[in-house]
Structure 1
Amino acid sequence: MTTVIRERDLEALVVGVTLLGSGGGGDSRAFGRILQRRLGTGDLELLDAADVADGYLSPVGVVGATSVLSEKLPSGREFATAVQAVSRWTDQPVDGLMSLEAGGLNGLSALVAAVDMGLPFVDADLMGRALPRLDQFSWAVAGRSLTPCALSEPGGQVVVVDNIDPAGLERAVRSFVVHTGGWAVLALAPTPAAAAISDAVNGSLARALELGRTHAGLPVSAAPSEVAGALGGRLLGDGRVDEVARYGGRSHGAGGAFGRGTVCVVDEPSRAVVRIETENEYLLAMVDGEPVVTTPDLVCVLDRRTLQPIAVDAIRSGDEVLVIALPGPEWWRHGERLTHVGPRAFGLTCDPLLLAAS
């Protein structure tokens, strides 16, 4: 069944992509407001590849320091500029768009691009959640090249990158955005639809919308276990944040330097200590020192009163929270894929511990 997004769905979709962000992925509310203005009283279909079987898809999204988007807002031209640049370079028209990642603001940014450019949107992405590095795109993990690609920044500069591996692209992108305002739009090469989704995570935004609708339907009086169960996850803790420690930058993987940290929550009913290891996202949760769930599953921290998700960079000591784990994308659970997004990929000496697949 085709999923259709209308104005009344946007609040739920914002919450859903925020949950898929696992504490990261940037603030999706700004793009939620942009999409609301663009969409108006219209609607947007989330298609599958069969709907554009003979077409070429370009994955698009925002890269860099998404926190500065509130200070340096997009003009609206960046997506079209990046897509047109990579289309010219490859001499291949773009017939539809898909997203780079489903978690956080990029769950919505490609939707904004599709509305602005009048292109179909296919519900497929290269992460299924939020992850910090370009070498963690599913295309890269499957051994496919990420180049040629194009970068467009809000000042108008456009750069096309070709003949470079994912680790090199990660370094090139971060160097570019450091000197051009902190963020840019990335558009990957137009790819036949069937090939584009064969190594992608499918249906992430439909899942996000379902999560958001479920979240919106939770009664104010819902017990913590009911909240976790309704969202299809497991309750790890219900209590107050006792400590938030941030350790500054430490480099992991393909050239990224991300701030490491730890969040400790004291579970009110049991007095157990829930410790969460963080980088850009919540990565690993332990209860009284025993690991219980790890990336690529989703560790979500919700405000206990409002049930709104709290981002890694927004959580503070004294917050009263629920810690809930949700199953991550099925795509990452198979074979060698897990090694690219499990805890050891972030420098954590722990084997993956995953919830039962939903």
Structure 2
Amino acid sequence: MARTLEHAQLPALARGFSLLGSGGGGATTMLELALVDDEHWPVTLHELDDLDPSLPCLGAAFVGSTMLLGERLPGAAPFGRLIAAAERWLGHPVPVVCSLEGGGLNGLTPFTLTGDRLLVDADLTGRAVPGLDQMSLLVDRVPGVIAACDTGAGGVMLVETDRPIDLERVIRSATIQAGGVGGTVFAGFTVGDLVEHSVHGGTRRALELGAAFLRARSAPLPELAAALGGRLLGQGRITAVEPDARDPHVNSIGVDGDRGQVHRIVTRSETLAFMTDGRLEASAPTIIVVLDAVSRDILEVTDLTLARTIAVLELPAPGWWSERGERLRHVVPSAYGLADLDGAA
């Protein structure tokens, strides 16, 4: 059943998508500001069953360094040229929009397109992930999916390929040429394709998580974790931040626990694993959330600095990934070259 979302629910949505970012996906602040105008609200959020399965759909997201968006703000219609190129290629308009990435700032991206499109509560990840080849439609090899992206100076590139890794590499190269960040649009699929090949209810989950977080933010940490449907993994003070010898993008964060334990957090662009006294407690695709233990701010991996006192929570992974082993292998730590951290999802 369709539901109406009001502007007053935007903070809860944003906090929920921040939680689902698992330490990545970018801060939601920019899009919260972009969506502050009343012209965007109210928004009707449709379930998949509400819509004709034959309706064409698209997903939009910012790709690259989300930190650069704070310095190079996108224009009023950052996806306009990309959607126009996709519709020209397909030969028809695309009336429905879903979320491309269900965590971080991109959870809010489809809300910028609801003026002339129907918003459906489905997304292609259920959490933040770093690679476009990890989008559910590509993981399940749905045929006919295309992608359009920025190349800089008003340029647009469109990609159609049967190899997901090609799409990831080509768009990543174009994004670098565009200055390190840009828009990307997926199209060539339908609402019906999303029934099997997407994570359902991610926006509803974000809203519920965000509302629970705002209500329980000041509660004791175990109670806050329980209010979110998760558990408290540990808390303590960061005493070491060390890059991995195998991959400079991977960091090992040492934490002295408040009860004498030794915790370790492994991060890349998201938080991938949490260990206590050498025992693996949680790993991707489980959503590992790090909070500032004092302010209760939701932290990104770049915020994990020496001497900061933190709390680490675990939230359940989107079930879509574990339904098939072929899906799961795309989001466990070994997908990032960290095979010894698989197995706690």
Residue 224 (structure 1) aligned to one of 209, 216, 221: 221
User: Equivalent residue for 1:294?
Assistant: 283
Work out whether residues 239 and 254 of structure 2, in 8 Å CA contact, stay in contact via their aligned partners in 1: yes
State the TM-score, normalizing by the size of structure 1.
0.91
CA–CA separation in structure 2 for the residues paired with 1:230 and 1:134: 32
User: Equivalent residue for 1:329?
Assistant: 318
User: Equivalent residue for 1:86?
Assistant: 86
Specify the SS of the correspondent of 1:14: helix
User: Equivalent residue for 1:47?
Assistant: 46
Work out whether residues 288 and 312 of structure 2, in 8 Å CA contact, stay in contact via their aligned partners in 1: yes
CA–CA separation in structure 2 for the residues paired with 1:274 and 1:94: 48
* Counterpart residue type for residue 243 of structure 1: A
Task: Quote how far apart the aligned CAs of 1:38 are.
Answer: 5.8
Work out whether residues 241 and 254 of structure 2, in 8 Å CA contact, stay in contact via their aligned partners in 1: yes
Distance 1:39 1:243, change over 3 A: farther
Task: Quote how far apart the aligned CAs of 1:279 are.
Answer: 0.3
* Counterpart residue type for residue 154 of structure 2: G
CA–CA separation in structure 1 for the residues paired with 2:103 and 2:279: 27
* Counterpart residue type for residue 246 of structure 1: P
CA–CA separation in structure 1 for the residues paired with 2:152 and 2:69: 10
Work out whether residues 146 and 188 of structure 2, in 8 Å CA contact, stay in contact via their aligned partners in 1: no
Task: Quote how far apart the aligned CAs of 1:245 are.
Answer: 2.2
Distance 1:67 1:38, change over 3 A: farther
User: Equivalent residue for 2:235?
Assistant: 238
Does residue 320 of the first structure (1) align with residue 319 of the second (2)?
A: no
Distance 1:191 1:99, change over 3 A: same
Residue 203 (structure 1) aligned to one of 201, 204, 209: 201
CA–CA separation in structure 1 for the residues paired with 2:217 and 2:104: 24
Specify the SS of the correspondent of 1:143: coil
Task: Quote how far apart the aligned CAs of 1:195 are.
Answer: 1.4
Residue 262 (structure 1) aligned to one of 252, 258, 264: 252
Where structure 1 has 5 or more consecutive residues not aligned to the other structure, the ranges are 251-257
1:303-344 deviations in whole A, cap 9, x for unaligned? 112212100012211111111011010101122211111121
Task: Quote how far apart the aligned CAs of 1:213 are.
Answer: 0.3
Structure 1 vs Structure 2: percent identity of aligned residues? 34
Task: Quote how far apart the aligned CAs of 1:39 are.
Answer: 4.3
Work out whether residues 92 and 190 of structure 1, in 8 Å CA contact, stay in contact via their aligned partners in 2: no
User: Equivalent residue for 1:254?
Assistant: none
CA–CA separation in structure 1 for the residues paired with 2:74 and 2:144: 24
User: Equivalent residue for 2:332?
Assistant: 342
CA–CA separation in structure 2 for the residues paired with 1:133 and 1:275: 24
Work out whether residues 60 and 188 of structure 1, in 8 Å CA contact, stay in contact via their aligned partners in 2: yes
CA–CA separation in structure 1 for the residues paired with 2:45 and 2:150: 25
Alpha carbon RMSD of aligned pairs, Å?
1.8
Residue 293 (structure 2) aligned to one of 295, 304, 312: 304
CA–CA separation in structure 2 for the residues paired with 1:47 and 1:352: 35
Distance 1:62 1:4, change over 3 A: same
1:276-298 deviations in whole A, cap 9, x for unaligned? 11100000110111101110001
Query: Which has the larger displacement, 274-283 or 345-354?
Result: 345-354
Work out whether residues 57 and 196 of structure 1, in 8 Å CA contact, stay in contact via their aligned partners in 2: no
* Counterpart residue type for residue 328 of structure 2: L
1:75-105 deviations in whole A, cap 9, x for unaligned? 0222121111111101121011011111001
User: Equivalent residue for 1:173?
Assistant: 171
Task: Quote how far apart the aligned CAs of 1:8 are.
Answer: 1.0
User: Equivalent residue for 1:152?
Assistant: 150
Work out whether residues 59 and 98 of structure 1, in 8 Å CA contact, stay in contact via their aligned partners in 2: yes
User: Equivalent residue for 1:58?
Assistant: 58
User: Equivalent residue for 1:162?
Assistant: 160
CA–CA separation in structure 2 for the residues paired with 1:138 and 1:182: 24
CA–CA separation in structure 2 for the residues paired with 1:152 and 1:34: 20
Where structure 2 has 5 or more consecutive residues not aligned to the other structure, the ranges are none
CA–CA separation in structure 2 for the residues paired with 1:227 and 1:318: 23
Number of aligned positions between the proteins: 342
Task: Quote how far apart the aligned CAs of 1:247 are.
Answer: 4.5
Work out whether residues 217 and 296 of structure 2, in 8 Å CA contact, stay in contact via their aligned partners in 1: no
Specify the SS of the correspondent of 1:36: coil
Work out whether residues 25 and 128 of structure 2, in 8 Å CA contact, stay in contact via their aligned partners in 1: yes
User: Equivalent residue for 1:253?
Assistant: none
User: Equivalent residue for 1:73?
Assistant: 73
Distance 1:85 1:219, change over 3 A: closer
User: Equivalent residue for 2:102?
Assistant: 102
CA–CA separation in structure 2 for the residues paired with 1:124 and 1:265: 36
